[in-house]
Structure 1
Amino acid sequence: MKSSRLVSILLLLQTRGRMTAARLAEELEVSVRTVYRDMEALVAAGVPLYGDAGHAGGYRLLDGYRTRLTGLTGQEAEALFLAGVPGPAAELGLGAVLAAAQLKVRAALPDALRPHADRVAGRFHLDAPGWYADADDTPFLPAVADAVWNGRVLHVLYRRWAEPTDVRRRLEPYGLVLKAGRWYVVAGPGPRTYRVDQILELDTSEEEFTRPEGFGLAAYWAAYQRDFHDRLHRAEAVVRLAPGTRLTGPQGRAVDADGRPDGDGWTRATVPVESLDRAHDDFLRLGTAVEVLEPAELRERIARTVAELAARYAPRGGNSVASGGD
């Protein structure tokens, strides 16, 4: 809607300062011509808006002009308060800041919208970590966050999986990501991804760095996850699944796309696996509901494990449980 777009233009100029028509059009996903018409409408409405020509030109608001948050809808107010996650904010050292900011935003809301914001806290609670995972110990998280915010270089002692495990690194921290309750810092050169809980020592510095032009944290993380999953499931296994057996994740999708009946109610499919070790453990959990056909190495390994289990649980002389009466 045009009215919503005009409010968006005001807020963009208010928060980012001077912006070109092309940049506004890209941000709002409209044509440059539409932006020009919107600017004329804002000027006609009395908004102190100025346009400068030239390479460094663009639109800007008169210094000191502020717009109030009266353009919010009920759903927007709810989403705004839902976006504030107190747990991660507290870990970053921003718990009190978040509470103060929410209080100020609530005070600025029109009376009719305050109930929309208030009921979010009573009906939604976001808890990011998984059920069976202990909270990571991240004592250096506030220092990393401060370096991210101020563009300062960090010198860390970092523990990795490969030998040598403990290495010293000079990091240019571009951003922080919270994934499934675990914090990661994306840092140059590279960039590369580091787990914050694996930082053993940290020294701050006054050395500043410049983020690469065009770097986007969300885009980098999406590409990183795609690459991670591609590397995670490079091997394949051919399996037969008993009727009603469901696999999850990439394996489940592979069965849905490639699975075919095997004549006796079972389903035959080629599924991705992370490694022989992981596939061995995962398929054993399914018991008799799965049969691994290929690769031969995996099938033989599972057969050896099953034989060892059968021998281990075979009845022992004099210790077997009697069945029947006296």
Structure 2
Amino acid sequence: MRADRLVSLVLLLRQHGRLSATALARELEVSTRTVLRDIEALSAAGVPVFAERGRLGGFTLLPGFQTELTGLNHDEALALLVAGSRRGAQAFGLGPALASAMRKVVDALPETQRAAAAGAVRRLLVDPDTDLLLRRLTTEEVPDDVVAEVRRAVVAGHRLRIHYRAAADRAPAWRTVDPIGLVTARGQAYLLATRSGQDRTYRLSRVLAAEELDEPATRPDRVDLGRAWQDRGTRFRSGGDQVTVLALVTPERRAGLADTAVAVLSERTEGDGRVRLEATFQDARHAEWALWQPGAHVEVLAPDWLRTTLRDRAAAIAATYAD
């Protein structure tokens, strides 16, 4: 890992010209002391890196210094292949590898193209951290060692032992699975696998520990992850404790309500302009939360228990602010 870091340090200096120890530490995700030790190691190895003093000083390379150390390692190549989504690379534990790989790609460009590419990339932003309403997009955190072990088993085609907590109120348990692939959706990462021949889907944030086994996984040689994800979504929507709700919603809130639902079964526009929407939600709690958000912009027609729940909730809030 230190060899990769030293290469990244050289590439950073080549691309930026001059960087302080603090900036290098931030880019490489290490301490300033580690950066200073790496600088000494590079100097000892004959790399012409030297310090410039002063307020605008920092470390820089001898002008004209060239290096051919642009080969990608396994994780960096994998990160580039999933780089269509920056969040996808982060969810799979490949964020640092993606940053390292992109530095190598930029360094491999001809000098004339490098500046143009750097300018172009500053005008393209993919998956910002917030939307236009400043709502932060949540990304579930998964320990690096867990996601790395899961990823290795998926890529190598080996069986996997995971210590998994299926729900917050249930004790975690060990289980051995045959991994099929990894999927990221709305900031959450999932492991698609089979267990005793049955399809299973595990949320990575609920995997407390993982261990790649030596034995090969029982799985097909080729897989269409998009189709597999769609099939599992269909089965998920058709089972469990789902709640079907019939409601009237104003046109401006229709899209927001539909986006929170598991599925929209039917809809039509009524004479008063409101949309009569029939939709399913994951469970009672999800339905109550989703139908409460639009406030007076939505009127629940059925089921009766949900009408009562929302009425009582509104009455309690009205009483709190009565005076």
Which residue is 1:40 aligned to?
A: none
Q: What number of residue pairs does the alignment pair up? A: 231
Which residue is 1:99 aligned to?
A: 102
Name the CA shift for 1:293/1:81 in 2 (closer, same or farther; >3 Å): closer
How far apart are residue 299 of structure 1 and its match? Answer: 1.4
- Aligned match for 1:277, one of 282, 285, 300: 285
Which residue is 1:88 aligned to?
A: 89
Name the CA shift for 1:192/1:243 in 2 (closer, same or farther; >3 Å): closer
Equivalent AA in structure 1 for residue 211 of structure 2: D
CA distance in 2, matches of 1:271, 1:116: 51
Gaps of 5+ in 2: 1-79, 131-135
Which residue is 1:187 aligned to?
A: 193
Which residue is 1:133 aligned to?
A: 138
How do 1:243-262 and structure 2 match up within 5 A? Answer: 245-248=253-256, 249=258, 257-261=267-271
- Aligned match for 1:267, one of 274, 279, 284: 274
Equivalent AA in structure 2 for residue 183 of structure 1: A
Equivalent AA in structure 1 for residue 89 of structure 2: P
Equivalent AA in structure 2 for residue 142 of structure 1: A
Name the CA shift for 1:151/1:238 in 2 (closer, same or farther; >3 Å): closer
Name the CA shift for 1:85/1:106 in 2 (closer, same or farther; >3 Å): farther
Name the CA shift for 1:85/1:280 in 2 (closer, same or farther; >3 Å): closer
How do 1:310-325 and structure 2 match up within 5 A? Answer: 310-315=318-323
Name the CA shift for 1:310/1:162 in 2 (closer, same or farther; >3 Å): closer
- Aligned match for 2:230, one of 213, 222, 247: 222
How far apart are residue 187 of structure 1 and its match? Answer: 1.8
CA distance in 2, matches of 1:312, 1:86: 42
Name the CA shift for 1:251/1:82 in 2 (closer, same or farther; >3 Å): closer
**Is 2:83–2:98's contact at 8 Å kept on the other side of the alignment?**
no
**Partner SS for 1:172:** strand
Name the CA shift for 1:125/1:232 in 2 (closer, same or farther; >3 Å): farther
Which residue is 1:157 aligned to?
A: 163
Equivalent AA in structure 2 for residue 259 of structure 1: T
**Partner SS for 1:94:** helix
- Aligned match for 2:174, one of 156, 168, 175: 168
> CA deviation digits over 1:1-22, x for unaligned, max 9?
xxxxxxxxxxxxxxxxxxxxxx
Gaps of 5+ in 1: 1-78, 316-326
Structure number with bigger Rg: 1
CA distance in 2, matches of 1:234, 1:86: 29
**Partner SS for 2:122:** helix
CA RMSD of aligned residues (A): 3.9
CA distance in 1, matches of 2:237, 2:123: 34
Name the CA shift for 1:245/1:144 in 2 (closer, same or farther; >3 Å): closer
Name the CA shift for 1:103/1:208 in 2 (closer, same or farther; >3 Å): farther
CA distance in 2, matches of 1:170, 1:219: 24
**Is 1:184–1:194's contact at 8 Å kept on the other side of the alignment?**
yes
Equivalent AA in structure 2 for residue 284 of structure 1: W
CA distance in 2, matches of 1:106, 1:229: 48
Identity %: 23
Equivalent AA in structure 2 for residue 217 of structure 1: L
Higher deviation after alignment, 200-209 or 96-105: 96-105
CA distance in 2, matches of 1:121, 1:243: 38
